[in-house]
């Protein structure tokens, strides 16, 4: 089963999409398998990280800013090479194990859509596979 979800990002940041993925898993009826969450954008990404302390998200974004700053040497005419770099480094997808009808996530883990170039209207896919 493939589901497509839309989100509007109002700025760069991490958007918790765990409930969307959980909904896709529940609707699939799959008891044992995997869920693949995929971002089809080149200046955004999917990641799993802490959902308890929001300072973790702030620190992650701060570190990405420091690691991949905008540079005058960048040639890409759109002017958002830094966002493209962050997208590739964080990654376009995550895979989550489904067991006993639920996602196997750690207590402090959430699934995030990472926006590096917003605000934008975005979408992502959840593919649930039985196995």
Binding site for Zn ion (CB under 5 A): 78, 80
Dihedral sign of CA atoms 92, 6, 12, 96 in order:
negative
Q: Which is nearer to Zn ion, 74 or 125 (CB)?
A: 74
Q: Which is nearer to Zn ion, 42 or 109 (CB)?
A: 42
Q: Check: CB of residue 107 under 8 Å from CB of residue 12.
A: no
Q: Two tokens at 93?
A: 């997808």
Q: Which is nearer to Zn ion, 120 or 127 (CB)?
A: 120
User: Could you tell me the smallest distance in angstroms from the CB atom of residue 108 to Zn ion?
Assistant: 33
State the residue number with the nearest CB to Zn ion. 78
């Amino acid at each position: 089963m493939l589901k497509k979800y839309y989100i509007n990002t109002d700025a760069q940041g991490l958007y918790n999409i765990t409930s969307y993925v959980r909904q896709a898993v529940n609707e699939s009826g799959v008891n044992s398998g995997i869920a693949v969450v995929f971002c089809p954008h080149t200046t955004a990404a999917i990641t799993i990280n802490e959902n308890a302390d929001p300072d973790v998200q702030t620190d992650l974004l701060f570190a990405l800013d420091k690691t991949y700053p905008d540079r005058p040497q960048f040639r890409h005419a759109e002017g958002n090479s830094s966002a493209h770099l962050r997208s590739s480094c964080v990654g376009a997808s995550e895979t989550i194990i489904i067991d006993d009808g639920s996602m196997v996530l750690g207590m402090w883990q959430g699934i995030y859509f990472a926006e590096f170039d917003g605000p934008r209207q975005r979408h992502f896919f959840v593919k649930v596979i039985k196995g």
